[in-house]
Amino acid sequence: MKLRNSSSISLGPLATLLWLLAFAVAAEAKDLQFQAYLVWAADAQKSPDPTHKPVDSEVRRKLHELPLKWANFFEVSRVSLTVAEGKSGTTSLSDHCRVEVTDVNGKNVEVSLIGKGAPVLKRIQPLPKGEMLVLGGNAPDSTGWLVVLKRTE
């Protein structure tokens, strides 16, 4: 009877498995992608600024679900923002408004809103794909401003 020598077992499959595992982990480390909107909230049917257009239907639907008093939401600007894993990304929504997003630990994001060079708000929270963070405040003439940050990836 022949005895199998256990030390002769090939390490090939094990190495392949480890390589695949490492690949899967690396593939998991994706960039975070966002859409940032600057929105003017008002009851007026039309914005006095002809460059403003109504926000897209998905954002409008979600905004209408929030406890906001305005009937209409106009998109002032929209930008895409990509944040690498563990890094920060900044984008300007207007001459006076800037948003900085930092991937804190792979699960939370830190969102900083800077208005006219001064920090307005800093918030850390989870923001999974498809979810939306809306920062807002009052604007003159009983209107409002909103900064909408939607995680797209």
Partner 1 sequence: MKTEQTLKLQAFLDGELSETEARDIAAWLARDADAKALHNELRHTRKALKDSEPRVTLPESREFYWSKIRRDIERSAPAPAKPAPASPLLWLRRLLLQTGPMTVLGVALLAGLIHFCWVDAKLGLATESTGAEAGTFTYHDDANGTTLVWVNFPAETEIAMNTTPW
Residues that bind partner 1 (CB under 8 A): 38, 40, 61-62, 65-68, 76, 93-97, 107-108, 115-116, 118-126, 128, 130-143, 145, 147
d(CA 72, CA 46): 8
**Of 6 and 51, which has the nearer Cβ to partner 1?**
51
State the minimum distance, in angstroms, from the CB of residue 109 to partner 1: 10
**Of 33 and 143, which has the nearer Cβ to partner 1?**
143
d(CA 49, CA 143): 14
**Of 16 and 138, which has the nearer Cβ to partner 1?**
138
**Of 14 and 44, which has the nearer Cβ to partner 1?**
44
For residue 111, give every residue at least 6 positions away whose Cβ sits within 8 Å of its Cβ, in sequence order, or none.
Answer: 99, 100, 101, 121, 122, 123, 124, 125, 127, 133, 135, 149
State the minimum distance, in angstroms, from the CB of residue 134 to partner 1: 5
State the minimum distance, in angstroms, from the CB of residue 113 to partner 1: 8
Q: Rounded to 5 degrees, what are φ and ψ at 53?
A: -135, 155
d(CA 82, CA 104): 14
- Provide the 10 A C-beta neighbour count for residue 73: 23
State the minimum distance, in angstroms, from the CB of residue 8 to partner 1: 35
CA nearest neighbour of 88 among 97, 101, 98, 99? 101
**Of 12 and 128, which has the nearer Cβ to partner 1?**
128
State the minimum distance, in angstroms, from the CB of residue 47 to partner 1: 11
d(CA 96, CA 70): 23
